[in-house]
Amino acid sequence: MKELPERNEISLADSPAPGFVVIVSGVSGAGKGSVINKLKELREDFVLSVSTTTRPPRKEGTIGEHYAHVDIEEFHDLASSGEFLEWAEVHGHLYGTRRDWVLEKIAEGYIVILEIDVQGAIQVMTKNIDQTSVFVTPPDRQTAYDRLKRRGTETEEDIKRRIRNSDWEFDQMNQFDYMVVNVSGKLDETAQTLSAIITAERAKMTRSSVRP
């Protein structure tokens, strides 16, 4: 297995380019949160967006638990006042991404990673914002189902709902710019692939601030 680069090898100071959004989405059980958590060991030029949700918190310390929890009334108030870049009902709960926070971080030069569901990802793709999109997937559907069951963070009813919805999620992958396959036991390699995509996107001529 290839050795990982030293922690925080890639920093914000390494590039004067402006920030942009990287949508990281995929089916339930793909391991998106685990991949992003490993990505933190490779680079520090990104910030992870915090989703606002009506879903109850998972147990403390759960990998990928990047949420601000609100009740349904507060969520609807935020949505109706246009506070969200995107929002959707997913697996029986509401999720949204705060627009102003994302735009603020982009202006500061950060890459903003949106770890969001497929519905929300498709919404963001339609917005006039500098972005690229990555679909994280397990090697096959059965692996996704097995990971959901092993995770132990959802009820049996939630797991069944996620499995039903995953068929539609798999069908949307062709709408994304990139696909990353998260093979069990190869999390380091998956994170390196995602990091390489981000590096390539940051180096695009259209994002360079040093062009003549």
Task: Return the CATH class of domain 12-200.
Answer: alpha beta
pLDDT of residue 166: 82
CA 30 from centroid of its chain's CA atoms: 11
8 Å CB contact between 121 and 23 = yes
- Pair 200, 158: CB distance under 8 Å: no
Q: If we measure between CA atoms, which residue out of 1, 87, 4 comes closest to residue 41?
A: 4
In this prediction, residue 6 carries a pLDDT of 44
Q: Give 69-115 pLDDT, tens digit per residue.
A: 889 999 999 999 999 999 988 777 899 999 999 999 998 889 999 99
Average pLDDT of the chain, as a whole number? 83
pLDDT at residue 208 in the model: 67
pTM equals 0.79
Cβ atoms 116, 124 nearer than 8 A: yes
- For 43, which DSSP code? B
Count the neighbouring beta carbons within 10 Å of the beta carbon of residue 157.
Answer: 10
